[in-house]
Chains A and B, each alone.
Chain A
């Protein structure tokens, strides 16, 4: 069903498009540069100042990257697994936990509700740099140092996702919930069948945010064993090795960029499909 909307002047359209494109270019600049760098052969990487184009693009940096890991005792697949495993578990776990937690906070009433909501908001503001020492002590006390739990559990304890979902759920009209109750559904069923699908756009944000955060986190303060280290830790070992490695480290940058981009595109697509289909606010 097409909507009738107030139209925009053609000039307005043009300027907006221009502005968006220029701005987009500005945003892409460093990333474009990293991609270009990863395609440069060694002699072009030596240029100073660095150039924004490549005359002889080559994939040899990526090939070299693969060859480099041939010399690591822990196989590359293990690092990859570590990163993917922790990222996926954290993300999936957090989406569920946060959704479950947000629903009562948005729609129910119970003792301490106000207190908890305030804590949620406050906790977003408190910077982790200073809590890192107490956090370390707690981890150590629980015996979680040098385990995956030391990364997964804190990832699932953040309050941003809860806050976000709370807001989205808050705008779901109460009538829908009432009608579910009338139909005899318990709270948990209501949650599962009705609420969850409705906040899929918010899911997307939480998924990306969490995944990107965990994927890019080295966890270096909690993890010491080589076979539990993350992919980014292993790859960033190359970036500190000087000029000759410049091409490989650019390739590293590109490789690390890929999974978040994939997750992003994937979640975008599924969200939009659901939106078109669900017919909210009928």
Chain B
């Protein structure tokens, strides 16, 4: 009996241990959320060059990749860098190639994330970027802190970076079968990619792009600016029918960088086969070309594939240029800093007849310029040496050298030519931007066995001509507007083609195509209502069309004023009649509906909402011992302190700035019943005074180009629409990490709370009252407004139009899924909570111009502020009365 029990217990024990590995496998590694960190100890076996190898699994979250801050310290040294741990995305298609719409056009697939373990091997020194770091033998401590998103990490080690050379590689390969044939794969049919923004698209300009049909759209290329940043990769599945040595050939297009070409690493089955494939350069071309990576004598590099399935990965590689771009970044920063020091002495508009003795005022000036000249020349030489083609990139550098040498010789001329200096820095910065970006477009990939001859594809002029002709003729037969005809009828949707950059979203054909894709699969199949999309300007054309009864059923991205005018005249429908109105509305902030509410009805549905944030340079503020102002009083004091150093502050001279002051003081443009002007109230007068004083007393510039001034630092503080953020990120990378976006200054109210209220600007969707299909229109609005549609719309817009055009959706749920980092999101949401809006009336147009005129009278002509605002307030009252006689609201 005892033996039996022991046996049973042992059996149970053994059985239970069988489960432990299973548990351990699911719970592999350590889960780190945002802000969490962990420390690992790693060993460098010998002195040598190492990269950090991290095994990780990105946890599902937003679309952006997790980012970790890594610090490696030991042996008296310390290195740190921020590393992006890319996710793994796949196309979510069910068909052979891609899903198609009713007309057989291929549709861009949704991107589906695969949660799996990946290994990343990367440099960890900020100053040398992705290159390996030289370490002495010994132990090192690795601190990892997650900066964005969350990851599981299962191990960190130091990987020696010696890779085989090509010769060594060839020695170690197996036998080649002579029955091997060519392997062909279309580049758009990927098996994985690092970012959801890398999506296939189409190029119909030439018949030789494979495949291309004259009667339907096929997605035949992948890449472009969406495949250009360090760390991005695309993977393909390759099946080798026989084991053999194959050469690679890429059909590509690259029009981003001339002289240096664009760099990629080629990895087979996740490994770099040999060193020479670590940095393959794709030269500039104006038409699709073939590239076969070869050695200096023209012999193609071969890779060995055993019979079976493999993965081929192409990863963006900046090793050929990284050292130079990092140096250039540092140089641009220092040049800007020197610019600010000069400006401190001379002001931004120096007196050309005065000698400022800059070389003695700023002791480091001339030595800095001399050093800069040397550095620039070195960088330019390095670039020229590496150039595979004629390029213009270095001309900018030499130009700068010329300017600096002039300064060194004649320091008294610096003040005169200050603007030249600034423009040169701008130019240098934009060159650096160009160099960092490595865009590449791919059409197809061919692997040819060693013994076979590769047939080139020459693009024949005549076949192309015939193709274009067919395309052209087909355009007369094809119906571009109407799509799926639903069983329950059809609605006409107009997308505003007008220039909407002021509200942050440029509508256009790209967006329309995204809407079409989303609506075909999501809307028409579910509701049975077909959609006809057109791109029409929402100004006069819309009004006339509605008048003539030829208007659409629904119009998108319409501005506030047009909506107000149409609403009070009964031309558009009340949204509250929509089934499911309350639920749909819960995804939006109330502030977005204010401009559309008249009486009890809500006459449009908000799409985008734009408001302002405050931007400041943390580095400059740090140097000067300043901190970001929280109240307007602090803001004014900051202006004065900055003025002592000849630095400027930017505040818009527009109505929205006035509204900030007005709302924070508790006032409003209109009286509560919306039938009179509220501008004679003491709060309004005070707000107007404070606003105009910024320009009169504080000397804020009346007009300015924010982007450039912020970059150079001569305007280290400004209040601007939050979409400026994206422009800064995309166009001013040299100041990454040196600036912040925070909510605007506020005013303390009686309860001691900080009131950061401001107004906003929305665009909306409307339904025309005369529509035949009100039900269908309501369904469309409900579908369109939901986060299930707004999220992919925003993400795809950003993918196609770039980061600088990130979608400023009004849908709070969709907003949380956009690619903002947690920190950015937090700042924006904090401000968004305080955002409201000024109601619209039939006289809003008049208010706008009166406020502008009042502003100009006060600021240009120095008229008495109180008199001015009273006068224009009366004016507004008169106009409101006049309008009310014509139409009620």
CA distance A155 to B321 in the complex (A): 57
A242/B480 in contact, CB under 8 A: no
Question: What residues of A have a CB within 8 angstroms of the CB of B480 in the complex?
Answer: 73-74, 225-227
B395/A56 in contact, CB under 8 A: yes
B468/A75 in contact, CB under 8 A: yes
9-residue interface stretch from B275-283, B410-418, B505-513, B877-885: B505-513
CA distance A220 to B205 in the complex (A): 26
CA distance A64 to B284 in the complex (A): 13
| A70 and B509 in contact, given A133-B544, A227-B478 (Cβ under 8 angstroms) | no
Question: What residues of A have a CB within 8 angstroms of the CB of B396 in the complex?
Answer: 43
Question: What residues of B have a CB within 8 angstroms of the CB of A133 in the complex?
Answer: 544, 547
Give A151 Cβ to nearest chain B Cβ, in Å. 14
9-residue interface stretch from A4-12, A44-52, A173-181: A44-52
B731/A243 in contact, CB under 8 A: yes
Closest to A79 in B: B475
B472/A140 in contact, CB under 8 A: no
Question: What residues of A have a CB within 8 angstroms of the CB of B540 in the complex?
Answer: 132, 221
The answer to the question of A145 belonging to the interface, with a C-beta cut-off of 8 Å to chain B, is: yes
Question: What residues of B have a CB within 8 angstroms of the CB of A69 in the complex?
Answer: 205
CA distance A272 to B113 in the complex (A): 70
Question: What residues of B have a CB within 8 angstroms of the CB of A220 in the complex?
Answer: 497, 536-537, 541
9-residue interface stretch from B425-433, B608-616, B825-833: B425-433
Give B3 Cβ to nearest chain A Cβ, in Å. 79
The answer to the question of B499 belonging to the interface, with a C-beta cut-off of 8 Å to chain A, is: yes
Question: What residues of A have a CB within 8 angstroms of the CB of B805 in the complex?
Answer: 242
The answer to the question of B548 belonging to the interface, with a C-beta cut-off of 8 Å to chain A, is: yes
A225/B534 in contact, CB under 8 A: yes
Interface residues of A in 33-83 (CB under 8 A from B): 41-44, 46-48, 55-56, 58, 60, 63-64, 66-67, 69-75, 77-78, 81
B205/A66 in contact, CB under 8 A: yes
Contact check: which of A48, A55, A132, A140 meets B550 at CB < 8 Å?
Answer: A140
The answer to the question of A241 belonging to the interface, with a C-beta cut-off of 8 Å to chain B, is: yes
9-residue interface stretch from B54-62, B196-204, B739-747: B196-204
Over the window 526-561 of chain B, the binary record of Cβ atoms lying under 8 Å from chain A Cβ atoms (1 yes, 0 no) is 000000001111001100110111100000000000
The answer to the question of A240 belonging to the interface, with a C-beta cut-off of 8 Å to chain B, is: yes
| Interface-centre pick from A64, A132, A136 (highest chain B CB count, 10 A) | A136
Contact check: which of A78, A81, A145, A242 meets B501 at CB < 8 Å?
Answer: A242
Question: What residues of A have a CB within 8 angstroms of the CB of B183 in the complex?
Answer: none
Give B459 Cβ to nearest chain A Cβ, in Å. 14
Give the size category of A's interface with B.
35 or more
The answer to the question of B333 belonging to the interface, with a C-beta cut-off of 8 Å to chain A, is: no
The answer to the question of B630 belonging to the interface, with a C-beta cut-off of 8 Å to chain A, is: no
Question: What residues of B have a CB within 8 angstroms of the CB of A243 in the complex?
Answer: 731
Give B90 Cβ to nearest chain A Cβ, in Å. 24
A240/B508 in contact, CB under 8 A: yes
| Interface-centre pick from A44, A137, A145, A241 (highest chain B CB count, 10 A) | A241
Question: What residues of B have a CB within 8 angstroms of the CB of A70 in the complex?
Answer: 202-206
B217/A73 in contact, CB under 8 A: yes
| A43 and B468 in contact, given A69-B205, A133-B547, A243-B731 (Cβ under 8 angstroms) | no
B427/A47 in contact, CB under 8 A: yes
Question: What residues of A have a CB within 8 angstroms of the CB of B548 in the complex?
Answer: 136-137, 140, 145
B509/A72 in contact, CB under 8 A: yes
The answer to the question of A2 belonging to the interface, with a C-beta cut-off of 8 Å to chain B, is: no
CA distance A79 to B804 in the complex (A): 29
The answer to the question of A26 belonging to the interface, with a C-beta cut-off of 8 Å to chain B, is: no
CA distance A216 to B237 in the complex (A): 50
CA distance A250 to B318 in the complex (A): 32
Contact check: which of A41, A46, A137, A225 meets B481 at CB < 8 Å?
Answer: A225
Contact check: which of A55, A77, A227 meets B395 at CB < 8 Å?
Answer: A55
Interface residues of B in 149-208 (CB under 8 A from A): 201-206
| A221 and B508 in contact, given A77-B468, A242-B501 (Cβ under 8 angstroms) | no
| A73 and B513 in contact, given A43-B430, A227-B478 (Cβ under 8 angstroms) | yes
Contact check: which of B203, B204, B427, B478 meets A46 at CB < 8 Å?
Answer: B427
B481/A226 in contact, CB under 8 A: yes
CA distance A58 to B423 in the complex (A): 20
Give A36 Cβ to nearest chain B Cβ, in Å. 16
Over the window 212-256 of chain B, the binary record of Cβ atoms lying under 8 Å from chain A Cβ atoms (1 yes, 0 no) is 000001000000000000000000000000000000000000010
Chain A residues proximal to chain B, CB less than 8 Å: 41-44, 46-48, 55-56, 58, 60, 63-64, 66-67, 69-75, 77-78, 81, 132-133, 136-137, 140, 145, 220-221, 224-227, 237, 240-244
Ranked nearest first, the 8 interchain pairs of A and B with the lowest CB-CB distance are: A70-B205, A140-B548, A240-B499, A78-B475, A43-B430, A75-B471, A70-B203, A77-B472
Query: 6 pairs across A/B with beta carbons < 8 Å?
Result: A43-B396, A75-B468, A81-B472, A220-B537, A221-B541, A242-B506
